[in-house]
A and B are shown apart, each in its own frame.
Chain A
Amino acid sequence: GAGVSQTPSNKVTEKGKYVELRCDPISGHTALYWYRQSLGQGPEFLIYFQGTGAADDSGLPNDRFFAVRPEGSVSTLKIQRTERGDSAVYLCASSLTMDTANTGELFFGEGSRLTVL
């Protein structure tokens, strides 16, 4: 597609449930990032993939959060036993190569808004 695509755009779930959020990066982009943005705050780094491997997962808040990118393209962010505090917009971004990964030219999707009741 023309840009980074994220699904679902909105997800409402109950406390304790499992959710998956999907990111389809720009075709050919090798680097993929997940960020979380709470209301009125800036995006908070979660994890960064270079190809299929997680190059930096230092931002994942706890072991309920996990992300995969098995074929080096689409990525899925998985949240187990959701809590109300997980409510936020989850942003995915991609960049072309490692060189541009070292710049700020990340291309963001419109995010998946997660609401945990």
Chain B
Amino acid sequence: GESVGLHLPTLSVQEGDNSIINCAYSNSASDYFIWYKQESGKGPQFIIDIRSNMDKRQGQRVTVLLNKTVKHLSLQIAATQPGDSAVYFCAEKINSGNTGKLIFGQGTTLQVKP
């Protein structure tokens, strides 16, 4: 069935190190993927997205990698900062068309140690 999941519920990193958050998806029809950041008591905040015709996309301190062969998505955060501490969700859209329906994974909590 459809599922978007994250490999680890919690990731703890040292400030200044790079972070890698992973996500697996099962629906090969998914053609659009997004990473969101959610801080405590707030709504999810868009970080970066990637379409299925791409393997990699870079933003400011963040990179998303997509491996369609193994249905795997990752978010890399460079020089992790305390402000990066949050829950990170991957989300997918199937055959992105005239719908805003996103399927979210369960989330990975990123803890940044000073």
Contact = CB atoms under 8 A, between A and B. Distances in A.
Partners in one complex: yes
Contacts of B96: 102
A44 B43 contact: no
A4 to B, nearest CB: 7
* Residue of A43, A48, A55, A91 contacting most chain B CB atoms (<10 Å): A43
Interface residues of A, number: 30
Contacts, number: 76
A108 B34 contact: no
Contacts of A50: 98
Contact of A41 (B36, B100, B106): B106
Contact of A48 (B4, B34, B49, B99): B99
A45 B101 contact: yes
A31 B97 CA distance: 13
Contacts of A41: 106-107
Contacts of B45: 108
A33 B43 contact: no
B91 A109 contact: no
B49 A103 contact: yes
Contacts of B100: 31, 33, 48, 55-56, 93, 95, 101-102, 106
B41 interface: yes
A96 B32 CA distance: 18
B101 A59 contact: yes
8 contacts: A40-B106, A42-B104, A44-B104, A45-B102, A102-B96, A103-B34, A103-B49, A104-B91
Pairs of residues from A and B, 4 with the lowest C-beta to C-beta distance, nearest first: A108-B43, A104-B34, A42-B104, A48-B100
Interface of A: 4, 31, 33, 40-45, 48, 50, 55-56, 58-59, 91, 93, 95, 98, 101-111
